[in-house]
């Protein structure tokens, strides 16, 4: 049986991403054809208004149209699209999902936090080595998922904290004031208190960070001038180096962040909030593992996440070759 060409589209609070890959139906291994990211900020203002803004909808649907055309041109046999935190929280989410349905020809799935966590774990496990149990942390724009498991998810929790949400809610000064940072840290710590009731953080033997915030922090810790996925993917860094990079990012002005060659311009204004979420999460996990008697000293960064999980699952659902079921 030949490979299946499938596509996954992940629409989060800050970005919308596409992966087209050839998937081995026996092993599930993905061979990338194309990966794309567009920073559309769908969740702009959702935390305060509860609605998707018209300009954000327009930006995001334009990216969906671009992705739909590419999927048709590349002969994708199946497509799966998931929308996460911003769409979950928006009262007018139907405007977005209806627009996607018309453009893409598939129903976008507004997944809950636990489903998002499971997909992130599945994606990360396509390319991560290390000692189990694995704790995968996906720091997004509106939410952060934690999922613990070995060959599959055993426990998961979704926290309503992310780079866009924390920036809009707390980090308004440039750079953030000590009071703003303290308020954001208190918010994240409260979310982590709840997470610990659902996920045994101390059981983790390998901590894996995924998604844009983690990749940006890793690039900063590595001293990269431009973003290099091959350097970021699979990087194993001392936890102290990761924490230092986080503090550096949230202490900078937006202009200083904008001058970092590895950082996409539309991520520069929110990376401080994401770095704060990642740092507090790393610190809490280190405390939990130390109490469990096996202090965690290193962190793995992965470029494989919910997008890979979506693409893998799309391939399992694939229709016969040549039937892309995309809107014409």
Per residue in 239-274, pLDDT (tens digit) is 999 999 999 999 999 999 999 999 988 899 999 999
Structure tokens at 153: 């998810």
Contact 192, 280 (CB under 8 A): yes
User: Which pLDDT belongs to residue 320?
Assistant: 45
pLDDT tens track for 115-149: 888 888 988 887 788 899 999 999 999 999 999 99
CB burial of residue 157 (10 Å; 0-12, 13-18, 19+): buried
Query: What is the arithmetic mean of pLDDT over 284-288?
Result: 98
Residue 324: per-residue pLDDT = 43
Which backbone phi and psi does 169 adopt, to 5 degrees?
-80, -35
Element (H, E) at 15: strand 15-23
Asked if residue 105 lies in contact with residue 133, where contact means CB atoms within 8 angstroms, the answer is no
Distances (CA, A) of 137 to 40, 162, 230, 279, 326: 22, 12, 20, 12, 32
- From CA 165, how far away is CA 178, in angstroms rounded? 18
Q: Which residues contact 60 (CB under 8 A, 6 or more apart)?
A: 11, 16, 40, 42, 96
Per-residue pLDDT at 235 exceeds 70: yes
218-224, long-range: CB < 8 A, 24+ apart: 218/242, 218/245, 218/301, 219/262, 219/263, 220/245, 220/248, 220/249, 220/260, 220/262, 221/245, 224/261, 224/262
Instruction: Give backbone dihedrals phi and psi of 178, rounded to 5 degrees, phi first.
Output: -55, -35
Considering only residues 320 and 163, tell me which one the structure prediction assigns the higher pLDDT.
163
Domains for the chain: give ranges and CATH numbers: 4-113+307-316 (3.30.420.40), 128-303 (3.30.420.150)
How much of the chain is helix, strand and coil, in % rounded to 5? Answer: 45, 20, 35
CA 193 to each of CA 114, 189, 310: distance values in angstroms, whole numbers, following the listed order: 17, 6, 29
Contact 210, 137 (CB under 8 A): yes
In percent, the amount of the chain with pLDDT more than 90 equals 84
Provide the token pair at 256.
Answer: 């200083």
């Amino acid at each position: 049986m030949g490979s299946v060409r499938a596509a996954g589209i992940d629409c989060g609070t800050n970005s919308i991403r596409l992966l087209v890959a050839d998937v081995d139906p026996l092993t599930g291994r993905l061979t990338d054809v194309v990966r794309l990211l567009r920073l559309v900020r769908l969740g702009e203002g959702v935390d305060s208004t509860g609605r998707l803004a018209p300009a954000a909808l327009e930006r995001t649907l334009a990216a969906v149209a671009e992705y739909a055309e590419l999927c048709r041109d590349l002969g994708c046999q199946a497509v799966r699209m998931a929308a996460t935190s911003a769409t979950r929280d928006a009262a007018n989410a139907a405007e977005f999902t209806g627009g996607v349905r018309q453009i893409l020809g598939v129903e976008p799935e507004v997944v809950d936090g636990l489903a998002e966590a499971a997909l992130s774990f599945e994606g990360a496990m396509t390319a991560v080595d290390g000692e189990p149990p694995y704790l995968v942390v996906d720091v997004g724009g509106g939410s952060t998922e934690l999922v613990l498991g070995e060959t599959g998810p055993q426990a998961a929790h979704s926290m309503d904290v992310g780079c866009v949400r924390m920036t809009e809610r707390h980090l308004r000064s440039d750079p953030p004031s000590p009071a703003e940072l303290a308020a954001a840290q208190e918010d994240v710590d409260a979310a982590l208190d709840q997470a610990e009731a659902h996920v045994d953080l101390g059981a983790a033997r390998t901590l894996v960070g995924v998604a844009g915030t983690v990749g940006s922090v890793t690039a900063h810790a590595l001293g990269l001038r431009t973003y290099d996925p091959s350097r970021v993917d699979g990087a194993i860094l001392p936890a102290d180096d990761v924490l230092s990079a986080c503090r550096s990012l949230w202490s900078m002005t937006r202009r200083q962040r904008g001058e970092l060659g590895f950082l996409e311009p539309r991520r520069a204004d929110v990376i401080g909030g994401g770095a704060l979420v990642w740092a507090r999460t790393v610190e809490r996990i280190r405390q939990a593992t130390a109490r469990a008697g096996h202090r965690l000293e290193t962190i793995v960064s992965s470029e494989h996440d919910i997008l890979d999980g979506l693409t893998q699952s799309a391939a399992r659902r694939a229709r016969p070759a040549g039937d892309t079921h995309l809107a014409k």
